[in-house]
Chain A
Amino acid sequence: MNQDTVLQVRDLATYFELRRGVVKAVDGVSFDLRRGEVLGLVGESGCGKSLTALSIMRLLPKGGARTVRGEVRLGGENILELPASRMRDIRGRRISMILQDPQTSLNPVFTIGEQLREAIFRRAPAKTAEIMKEAVAALRRVEIAAPESRISQYPHQMSGGMKQRVVGAIAMSGEPQVLIADEPTTALDVTIQLQYLKLLKRLQTETGMAILFITHDFGVVARMCDRVAVMYAGRIVECGPVAEVFERPAHPYTRALIASVPKMTGERGRLATIEGQPPSLLDLPPGCRFAPRCNLAEPQCIATYPETADIGPAHTVSCWRSDTR
């Protein structure tokens, strides 16, 4: 394991075992997250990006979801094998998470201060006065104006952007090595989104934490991430440095996805589309999962799943036809 790698995920698979069959929502995901980097995980709804994050956190939804194989190494230790009590100590301190909707991440019946205090106390038990001081400092770090008065307010008294800052303050209060941000700005307005992304980037530079940034928005990837992994139907199909993937996307899915986004410059004509729908996760094809929608597909693509191949510095792709681009 590389010195700089803080989180190593290998062949992670999480299935839903239903009466109708097995839903292979995450089906063999591998990646490394290095110190101080932002790795973007992009894909459409149902591709398994959020479930990958929840599998890493071991916070799977009730109702049949089970991680059936794989390793998640945090600092060399496979956290999937730890007892639940050890995992509780790790969550919030060594690995934290920010969810999409700040409305549901905060408890409406407790003040901001009480919720922050709980997080700080769990890391380092101390006297109330000291913890309050730390809570104010934590709010100041996420650029909340007048933190002394904000601390006694309830979530409903704050705007969406401010609530998401509070969620960020709580997530970062344990000084985690790894932060998983699952669409943290999707519910925010564009000007507030930009503020939030800049804040996150600044805090990351200061603390050196690694961020796994889950999003469906290529604009956010271009602005925030160092590397990007593209997911389709439960697997990563392409991974590489952001500039490289945008300039020379190797997987037909990545290429089609980037082409279908309306641009702010250039032609205003028809947009490129991807016809069809992603495959059912209950009944996955044996070959490449994108093959039924791919205009480059050959018999080989339909028969067998392509191995992951290196096609450039730190750029990998799973496609039989990646040479034709």
Chain B
Amino acid sequence: MSDEPLLRVEGLKKHYRVTKGVLFSRTLGHVKAVDGVSFTLRAGETVGLVGESGCGKTTTSKLILNLEAPTEGEVLLDGKPIHDLDGAELIAFRAKVQAVFQDPWSSLNPRMTVGRTIAESLIVNGWTQERIKARVSDLLVQVGLRAEQATQYPHEFSGGQRQRIALAAALASHPKLIVLDEPISALDVSIRAQMMNLLKDIQAEQNVAYLLVAHDLATVRHMADHTVVMYLGKIVEQGPTESLFRDVRHPYTKALFSAVLEARPGAAADEIELKGEVPSPLNPPGGCRFHPRCPFAFDRCSHDEPDLREVSPGHNVACHLYDAVETGKTSDAVRATSPAS
């Protein structure tokens, strides 16, 4: 079993029907929010899922949390398909896979003490009162709060503290995987670093895996072992964070990287400014979905959809520029052509 990853996502698709009319509704088309996504996640590892709004990263995380059923494809946890689960198995799954969402103001029930919120999953799993109490105290201390704060209500805490409480609640049932959907973007700059360090410490202690959904590349670089870049429902590039950040290949990823505003003056030397905006997922462009905005697009890109292919160990790119990578010709040409020129 050592080769089997904790989480395996295979050919995942989620299409939403768009209809018109109430009684005799017609189907106008399908929004292909997620359209054939595959990746794996090992125990104790972090995968960063990046992309702009509408790229399907949140839908992917909802499918993995089993909050949505896929149109096609599978999600396997420890080798078992999660979307077939029900009853006791589903409860066990929910204990194993937890989530922390972006907004700490809306994710905590304002009428419950934080101790009760944290205990929720333990109550569901039938723990005794005493064990619950001890566990809640441990969890609060673990996330950097005090045990006696269990009796307080969410409004008595700051945003950063609330996000710690949400994390404590997620950790309560000893999960193997936590989906972190933009866990720090609602927090203040000085609090973000505290939260990121805390997440890393907890991972080191408990060997929990994270699926980090984020739009900030620098955050992903600090947190993730493996990075997946999505555009309009598809993975355009993925690889080990170190090698991907060192050698960005896909033109979209390049544009995304060059749009990162680095906190040092004069850093903006060779940026690619993309023209236009992300097209509607209701009617995505044919061929490569990025081709209408791509500065390197050629004939083939508009009718032939590129597959992911390996460009270096574990590093995959879906782009026709790398089709001839075996001969070594095209890829060198691409790298020689600086995007800014």
Q: Does A260 contact B190, Cβ atoms closer than 8 Å?
A: yes
Contact partner of A194 (CB less than 8 A), chosen from B158, B200, B259, is B259
B260 interfacial by beta-carbon distance below 8 Å? yes
| B265 CB-CB contact with A under 8 Å | yes
CB-CB under 8 A for A195 and B260, given A243-B265, A243-B266, A268-B221: no
Over the window 200-236 of chain A, the binary record of Cβ atoms lying under 8 Å from chain B Cβ atoms (1 yes, 0 no) is 0000000000000000111111110000000000000
Given A161-B277, A268-B222, A260–B193 Cβ distance below 8 Å? yes
CA distance A189 to B193 in the complex (A): 22
B271 part of interface (Cβ distance < 8 Å): yes
Contacts A216-B188, A219-B263, A261-B189; A271 near B196 (Cβ below 8 A): yes
Q: How far is the CA of A256 from the CA of B188 in the complex (A)?
A: 13
Residues of A within 8 A of B193 (CB): 260-262, 271-274
Interface residue from B255, B256, B263 paired with A263 (Cβ < 8 Å): B263
Cα(A277)–Cα(B145), bound, Å: 13
How far apart are the CA atoms of A260 and B188 in the complex, in Å?
Answer: 11
Query: B265, A44: Cβ atoms under 8 Å?
Result: no
- Interface pair B268/A223, CB less than 8 Å apart: yes
Contact status A44-B190, CB under 8 Å: yes
Contact string against A for B residues 39-64, beta-carbon threshold 8 Å, 1 for contact and 0 otherwise? 00000000000001100000000000
Asked if A22 is at the interface (CB within 8 A of a chain B CB), the reply is no
The stretch among B74-82, B107-115, B212-220, B311-319 that forms the contact with chain A is B212-220
Instruction: Give the B interface residue count (CB, 8 A).
Output: 39
Residue B277 contacts which of A45, A159, A219 (CB distance < 8 angstroms)?
Answer: A159
Query: Per-position contact with A for B164-196: 1 when CB-CB < 8 Å, else 0?
Result: 000000000000000000000000111011101
Query: Distance (Å) between the CB of A232 and the closest chain B CB?
Result: 10
In the complex, A99 has a CB within 8 A of chain B:
no
Closest to A220 in B: B261
Provide the bound-state CA to CA distance between A273 and B222, in Å: 14
Flag whether A325 is at the interface (Cβ < 8 A).
Answer: no
Measured in the bound complex, the distance between the Cα atoms of B21 and A239 in whole Å is 58
Cβ contacts B250-271/A at 8 Å (1 or 0 each): 0000011111111111111001
How far apart sit A271 and B265, CA to CA, in the bound complex (Å)? 21
Are A264 and B260 in touch, CB under 8 angstroms? yes
Q: A161-B277, A262-B219, A264-B218 are in contact. Are A242 and B265 (CB under 8 A)?
A: yes
A44 touches B188 (CB 8 A): yes
How many chain A residues touch B (Cβ–Cβ < 8 Å)?
Answer: 41
B90 at the binding interface (Cβ < 8 Å): no
Q: Which residue of B lies closest to A162 (CB)?
A: B277
- A45 x B188 contact (CB < 8 A): yes
- CB proximity of A49 to chain B, nearest CB, Å: 12
CB of B301 to closest CB in A, whole Å: 19
Q: Does A270 contact B (CB under 8 A)?
A: yes
Neighbouring B residues of A270 by C-beta, 8 Å: 197, 200
CB-CB < 8 A to A189: which residues of B? 52-53, 215, 278
A314 within 8 A of partner (CB):
no
Q: A190-B256, A191-B274, A268-B222 are in contact. Are A222 and B265 (CB under 8 A)?
A: yes
Contact A195 B274 (CB under 8 A): yes
Complex: chain B residue closest to A221, CB-CB: B263
CB distance from A151 to the nearest CB of B (A): 19
Q: Does A246 contact B (CB under 8 A)?
A: yes
Q: Cβ of A257 < 8 Å from any Cβ of B?
A: yes
CA distance A272 to B189 in the complex (A): 11
Check B273–A257 contact: CB distance below 8 A: no
Tell yes or no: B153 within 8 A of A by CB: no
Q: Does A80 contact B (CB under 8 A)?
A: no
- Quote the shortest CB–CB distance from B262 to chain A (angstroms): 6
Given contacts A191-B52, A222-B262, A264-B221, contact A271 B188 (CB under 8 A): no
Do A260 and B189 touch across chains, with their CB atoms under 8 A apart?
A: yes
Give chain A residues whose Cβ lies under 8 Å from the Cβ of B219: 262
Provide the residues of chain B in CB contact with A263, threshold 8 Å.
Answer: 218, 262-263
B105 proximal to A (CB < 8 A):
no
A191 is contacted by which of B197, B222, B255 (Cβ under 8 Å)?
A: B255
Q: How far is the CB of A216 from chain B (nearest CB, A)?
A: 6
0/1 per residue, A172-194, Cβ < 8 Å to B? Answer: 00000000000000000111111
User: Any chain B CB within 8 A of the CB of A294?
Assistant: no
CA distance in complex: A102, B88 (Å): 46
CB distance from B56 to the nearest CB of A (A): 14
**What 0/1 pattern do residues 8 to 40 of A give for CB contact below 8 A with B?**
000000000000000000000000000000000
Q: Any chain A CB within 8 A of the CB of B245? A: yes
CA distance A192 to B273 in the complex (A): 9
**Contact present for B190 and A271 (CB under 8 Å):** no
Say whether, besides A216-B189, A217-B261, A190 and B215 are in contact (CB < 8 Å): yes
Known: A257-B190, A271-B196. 14 other contacts (CB 8 A): A191-B259, A193-B261, A220-B261, A221-B263, A222-B264, A222-B267, A246-B264, A261-B263, A262-B218, A263-B218, A264-B245, A270-B200, A271-B197, A275-B194
B residues with a Cβ closer than 8 A to A are: 52-53, 158, 188-190, 192-194, 196-197, 200, 215-219, 221-222, 245, 255-268, 271, 273-274, 277-278
- Complex A-B: 22 CB contacts under 8 Å: A45-B188, A189-B52, A189-B53, A190-B215, A190-B256, A191-B52, A191-B255, A191-B256, A193-B261, A194-B258, A195-B273, A222-B261, A257-B189, A260-B193, A261-B189, A261-B193, A262-B196, A263-B218, A264-B217, A271-B193, A271-B222, A274-B193
A contact residues vs B (CB 8 Å cutoff): 44-45, 159, 161-162, 189-195, 197-198, 216-223, 242-243, 246, 256-258, 260-264, 268, 270-275, 277
Question: Which 5 A/B pairs are nearest by Cβ-Cβ distance?
Answer: A219-B261, A218-B263, A271-B193, A260-B193, A262-B218
